[in-house]
């Protein structure tokens, strides 16, 4: 009996014997902790890549695991460090629904865009802004001439500041002496 046991032990592969006394990581977090203790940076990144390939789920704070599906940009709660076949089936069903919804949204958007292109411009609900008249043009367009506002903060004896005052004084003198505006000649 002892010889049979010794023969079995000798024939077992070395790798199987090594895993017999060393415990393999149970989830990603344990695997990543083990990889952190690697001697070189290359070995560390290699072990982390193995952890990512081996474990799809990540441990949650309150217990349990979560699986992030980047195709749906969504997380799913799972029982263990990897989804069971039943959990994977549910994730795939959700992905099919997600793709159907995306396709419906795209078709609806294309349909709305096509309708807007085919709709006559007069029926479109878009409001086209009217051009704004510049303030100086607006004053010229009105028939009533308003007096210019008095300049404030002008330098003394500058033409641009003195001209409006001079002009008002001349108009006042004309009114005072009874000068009437020039009449057009009849020909």
> Domain range holding 44?
10-55
Q: Let me know if residue 79 belongs to a domain.
A: yes
Q: Let me know if residue 146 belongs to a domain.
A: no
Q: pLDDT value at position 136? A: 64
Give the total number of structural domains in the chain. Answer: 2
Structure confidence by residue, pLDDT tens digits, 117-128: 887 665 656 666
Q: Let me know if residue 98 belongs to a domain.
A: yes
Q: Let me know if residue 174 belongs to a domain.
A: no
Report the sign of the C-alpha dihedral through residues 164, 170, 172, 178, in that order. Answer: negative
Residues 84 and 111 in one domain: yes
| pTM as predicted | 0.48
Helix/strand/coil (H/E/C) assignment for every residue in the chain: CHHHHHHHHHHCCHHHHHHHHCCCCCCHHHHHHHHHCCCCHHHHHHHHHHHHHHCCCEECCCCCEEEEECCCCEEEEECCCCCCHHHHHHHHHHHHHHHHHHHHHHHHHHHHHHHHHHCCHHHCCCCCCCCCCCHHHHHHHCCCCCCCCCCCCCCCCCHHHHHHHHHHHHHHHHHHCCCCCCCCCCC
Q: Let me know if residue 88 belongs to a domain.
A: yes
Nearest to 87 by CA among 59, 65, 54, 63: 65
Q: pLDDT value at position 17? A: 47
Q: Let me know if residue 90 belongs to a domain.
A: yes
More confident residue, 41 or 125: 41
């Amino acid at each position: 009996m002892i010889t049979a046991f010794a023969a079995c032990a000798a024939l077992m592969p070395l790798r199987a014997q090594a895993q017999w006394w060393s415990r393999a990581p149970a989830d990603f977090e344990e695997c990543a902790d083990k990889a952190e203790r690697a001697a070189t940076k290359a070995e560390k990144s290699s072990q982390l890549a193995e952890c990512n390939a081996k474990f799809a789920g990540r441990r949650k704070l309150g217990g349990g695991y979560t699986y992030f599906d980047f195709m749906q940009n969504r997380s799913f709660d799972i029982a263990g460090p990897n989804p069971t076949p039943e959990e994977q089936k549910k994730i795939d069903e959700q992905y099919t629904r997600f793709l159907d919804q995306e396709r419906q949204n795209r078709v609806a958007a294309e349909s709305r865009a096509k309708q807007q292109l085919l709709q006559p411009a007069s029926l479109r609900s878009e409001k086209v802004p009217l051009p704004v008249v510049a303030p100086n043009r607006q004053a010229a367009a009105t028939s009533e001439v308003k007096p210019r506002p008095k300049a404030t903060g002008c330098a003394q004896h500058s033409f641009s500041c003195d001209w409006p005052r001079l002009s008002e004084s001349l108009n006042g003198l004309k009114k005072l002496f009874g000068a009437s505006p020039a009449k057009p000649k009849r020909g």
